[in-house]
Structure 1
Amino acid sequence: MTTVATPTEVFHALADGVPRLVLGDRSQLDQLVALYAEHTDVRHTFAPFPAEPLRTRDDLRRHFGGATAATDGVESFAAVGRTVHATADPEVIIGEFRYVGRAHTHTHDFDIPCISVLRVRDGQIVESRDYTDAVGFARAFGRLDELAAALAA
């Protein structure tokens, strides 16, 4: 008998997989993409520029595939301080956590707060709203000048 992952289990798999991918474990790419339904709706609400929703696994593969390039030089990266909040809807959870770590090129650690609101149906994410500190990520990975220039353009 096959058991279907709960929304909480899916959240933890996502929170564990992203740091592994960023740290160079390319096998995580397929595992991360498989956490999502073929047709999904993923939005990064606090992105500094309007972004199209990620609607397919191909969209997600491109998104996650770019994570290692955007975070080149990361020495450590983990999702910590996880709290999962249940909602009145059994498909929906709210996951609070922080990405912590250090980049080779910087002398300070980073600690970036995040919230994910996930709708998980039949063990796969069908909808996600991700709230992360984009400026915190730019600071952590030495990209503040790049972000400022893009915002000014």
Structure 2
Amino acid sequence: MSTAQSLTAHEVFHRLVGGVAGLAAGDMSQVERLAALYAEETYVEHPASPHEMPPLTSRADLRRHFTEIAQWIQQIDNYRAERVTIHDTTDPEVIVAEFVYTGGGQDGAFDIPCVFIMRVRNGEIVSSRDYFGPRIPVSG
């Protein structure tokens, strides 16, 4: 059994958001680690995105996606996932993760509320619907 096959959906999710935080901190090796969390053939969509984003359907698509977002995410201070709640469903492959990406920059601190609905099979993400809310300024 490979390491990926031994990962639960919860563990895959935590590696995903941890890897994104590492990528934001400048660790470009996270691109490959993040892409490896997805099945070779996958289906990732961002239904609420204001930008027209076609679904990501392969590990290569995810590799390109994470390389592209590194350019803007590395401009954010202390970008990380917080207030994580993971809901199990009646389907053992599917979880619903609610969380907030937090960070800061020239315009101050902010939150981005998120909900990911992920299907994880054999330790790999085979599909995901990733919903990102608007960037909300945080005072304090």
Q: Same fold by TM (over 0.5)? A: yes
Partner of 1:114, secondary structure, is: strand
Q: Distance in 2 between matches of 1:35 and 1:88?
A: 23
Partner of 1:10, secondary structure, is: helix
Bigger radius of gyration: 1
* Equivalence for 1:45: 47
Q: Judge conservation of contact 1:42–1:129 (CA < 8 Å) in 2.
A: yes
Partner of 2:91, secondary structure, is: coil
Q: Distance in 1 between matches of 2:47 and 2:25?
A: 25
Give the drift of 1:73.
2.2
Deviation readout 1:48-88 (Å, 9 max, x if unpaired): 13321000111111111011212342121110011110000
Partner of 2:92, secondary structure, is: coil
* Equivalence for 1:21: 23
Q: Does 1:78 align with 2:77?
A: no
Q: Distance in 1 between matches of 2:65 and 2:104?
A: 22
Q: Distance in 1 between matches of 2:112 and 2:51?
A: 19
Q: Distance in 2 between matches of 1:23 and 1:95?
A: 23
Q: Distance in 1 between matches of 2:91 and 2:78?
A: 35
* Equivalence for 1:118: 118
Stretch moving more, 117-126 or 13-22: 13-22
TM-score (norm 1): 0.83
Match of 1:54 among 53, 56, 66: 56
Partner of 2:104, secondary structure, is: strand
Unaligned 5+ segments in structure 1 are: 141-153
Q: Between Structure 1 and Structure 2, how many residues are aligned?
A: 136
Cα RMSD after superposing both structures: 1.8
Q: Distance in 1 between matches of 2:65 and 2:135?
A: 19
1:29 partner amino acid: V
Q: Which has the larger helix fraction?
A: 1
Structure 1 stretches of 4+ with a deviation exceeding 6 A read: none
TM-score (norm 2): 0.90
Q: Judge conservation of contact 1:23–1:68 (CA < 8 Å) in 2.
A: no
Q: Percent identity?
A: 46
